[in-house]
Structure 1
Amino acid sequence: MTRSLRDAIAQHDNDYRPHVERFECRTGLCWHDPTPPTLGRGSRLSIVIPVRDNAYCLPTVLDALNAARDYTPASTQLIVVDDASTDQTTAIIRDHPAVDIGIRLPRPVGGAAARNAGLLLAEAPTVLHMDGDMVLPAHALADVAIRGADDLVLVGFRHNVPYTPGPDGRPILPAGEPDLHADYRAHWTPPAGKPMFYSGQVYDQAFVANPLADTDDFVKLGHGRAYYDWDLPRMAVTALVATPRDALIDVGGFDPGFTEIGWGAEDTHMGAMLIAAGCKLAPLRQLRGHHIDPPDADEQWQHKLASAPPRLAHYRQLLTQPAPTGRRGEFTTRTRRLLAEGEALR
């Protein structure tokens, strides 16, 4: 009998520690240390960024990626997919030297389908998925490129900062490295008496939790286990996460059923599919970026909250279906059709 996606997840542990041991033995570098620029030669990495109306921050994001590409000797490819922007995003993609491939879609299709477009165009065995408002430190691409594997999902973290424009309109960022503990997966303070949106749990009193540390860096989340409101698929957040290209294409890429613009769950589902396919989720504590809030952050947050229940319901329904595999042909046909509608910007 074919196992459901939920049952398939329960069959797999998340003991990625052999990967860590081999890496540290091969390089002499700690798994969580920033990668020096002397390492990474021979590695290959594709970066995929879907964007929609990100002109307020995209030049800063691309400038940082340019610096990161200069830092690492790895071979990198940057793909930006414009999901029918109505501001200056399209022109920025067309003109910025960091972009290797730029595609503009003529109609909004949502983050899942836009990410699939970039995934199909990616050439490297490891693909870094990131949001168009994530500003990365120079070592970030090297961190991912040298640690990628065909059964490993590398999880990064985000430090949200409000959009504060400088005299030139560009966002002002905090000095230094982004703070790991600004991410909810590292430092979490759930409220008392309020149902959690993901699990529905209600806690009698507020408390402070550390999901990353308390799960031994996600190792204890294997076999479908949970830590309060958190489980392993939820740790795969496409603000900053790297996946093996072939494995993600084999399970069909991101589910385009998550079509609304805004908060997703397509990344949680992506994590679930890859876990069921035998991939491990390994955090990189040094892989973190400044995540710039949009100028209308309050309005967008309300939209995201309003769209969360139907998206989560769609995800729960997908968990009851057979674990996907062998979907490369379907993925390729569907995504090529979408790309045929697009305009090549670079």
Structure 2
Amino acid sequence: MAKPLAQVIAAQDNDHTTITRDFQERTGLDWHAPTPAHLATDSRLSVVIPTRNNTHSLPTVLDALAAQTTATEVDVEVIVVDDASTDSTPQIIAEHPAVDRAVRLASHIGGPAARNVGAYLASGDTLVHMDADMVLTNHVLADIAVRARPDAVLVGFRHNLTHPLGTDNRPILPTGEPDLEADHRVRWRAPAGVPMFYSGQVYDTEFIGHPLDDTRDFIDLGNGRTYHDWDLPRMVVTALVAVPHAAFTAVGGFHPGFSAEGWGCEDTYLGAALIGQGCKVIPLRQARGWHLDPPDADTAWKAKFATFPPRVALLRHLLTQPAPTAGEEDLTRRATALIREATTLT
């Protein structure tokens, strides 16, 4: 009988030092340094963005993708999947020159299934999953392209931003790079006396943790180990993450149990499945973006957290099941059924 996924993960280390050292010796570039465009050659990236009612952020997100600095040898395609938006999001997608391929789904299905559609349409060797409110600095795709491997999940970081609007109704972004420590996987404030939403742990006193540094760039989270409330699959966050296309397909993409109703854990389970496939989870400290809060951010986050408990329960159940394998047929079936009813935008 096949082992539960949790046992498979416990047998996998996350020692990626050979990968990062070999890269540095080959290129003369630090693993965490922004990448000159000329180094990122001979790569095929597919950027996959699900979106629903993102008029407040999507034009700026797409502008930032158009401004990426990569060598001409890098093949980058941008695929946007509109999840049945009810505002002008489809028009923005159809008119923006950064978009290479886009479809509008017939009904609202949720981000995970929309990402699966985008991945099915993708031709790149590496899938760059990102949110429709994530504005990347101009070197991020080059950072990913030159480091992408069939056995590596490359993790980027986000700086949440409540943004003022300019006279053109576009977000006014700060100058410079997003702050790495603004990401809770880098600097994390643990509260006192409150059960943690993921593990249920309760701490006697409030403290500041540094998951990225204290785990040596996630190395010490291998073999199923934890850092307080954190484990290795939780470091895989689809605000910005690059995954091998073949491995993504092999595990069937995002699990269909994470439907449109609710928020959270679909990326954690994907991370677990990819670790089960033998992938290392490696941070790219320089790969950062401004994560634009919606106009009603407080209300939106309260609504999201209210739906989180059943998603955690589903995740815990799935970890007791066998590791997903041979998922290509299932992913194809689910994606093509949605595409048949979808409208082509570009």
Which category of TM-score, normalised to the shorter sequence, fits these structures?
over 0.9
Q: 2: distance between equivalents of 1:287 and 1:135?
A: 11
In structure 2, the gaps of 5 or more residues are none
Partner of 1:219: 219
* Cα distance change of structure 1 residues 203 and 246 upon mapping to structure 2, 3 Å threshold: same
Report SS of the residue matched to 1:68. Answer: coil
CA RMSD of aligned residues (A): 1.1
Moved more, 262-271 or 187-196: 262-271
Partner of 1:228: 228
- State the shift of 1:164 in Å: 1.7
- State the shift of 1:234 in Å: 0.2
Contact 1:72 1:141 in 2 (8 A): no
Partner of 2:15: 15
Contact 1:37 1:73 in 2 (8 A): no
- State the shift of 1:260 in Å: 2.8
User: Cα deviation per residue 1:199-241 (whole Å; 9 max; x = unaligned)?
Assistant: 0000000011100000000000000000000000000000000
User: Cα deviation per residue 1:83-140 (whole Å; 9 max; x = unaligned)?
Assistant: 0011111000000000000110010100110000011111111110000000001100
Report SS of the residue matched to 2:63. Answer: helix
Q: Is 1:118 paired with 2:99?
A: no
In structure 1, the gaps of 5 or more residues are none
Q: Is 1:283 paired with 2:283?
A: yes
Contact 2:70 2:139 in 1 (8 A): no
- State the shift of 1:2 in Å: 0.9
- 2:218 partner letter: F
- State the shift of 1:159 in Å: 0.1
- State the shift of 1:59 in Å: 0.5
Partner of 1:345: 345
Q: 2: distance between equivalents of 1:222 and 1:317?
A: 21
Contact 2:41 2:145 in 1 (8 A): no
How many residues align? The count is 346
- State the shift of 1:263 in Å: 2.5
Partner of 1:255: 255
Partner of 1:66: 66
Moved more, 14-23 or 176-185: 14-23
Contact 1:72 1:142 in 2 (8 A): no
Q: 2: distance between equivalents of 1:135 and 1:123?
A: 23
Contact 1:130 1:241 in 2 (8 A): yes
- 2:32 partner letter: H
Q: 1: distance between equivalents of 2:121 and 2:329?
A: 15
Partner of 2:243: 243
Output aligned runs, 1:144-293, within 5 Å: 144-260=144-260, 263-293=263-293
Contact 1:111 1:261 in 2 (8 A): no
Q: 1: distance between equivalents of 2:163 and 2:175?
A: 15
Contact 2:40 2:70 in 1 (8 A): no
State TM-score, norm by structure 1. Answer: 0.98
User: Cα deviation per residue 1:303-324 (whole Å; 9 max; x = unaligned)?
Assistant: 1111000111111111111111
Moved more, 66-75 or 249-258: 66-75
- State the shift of 1:334 in Å: 1.5
State TM-score, norm by structure 2. Answer: 0.98
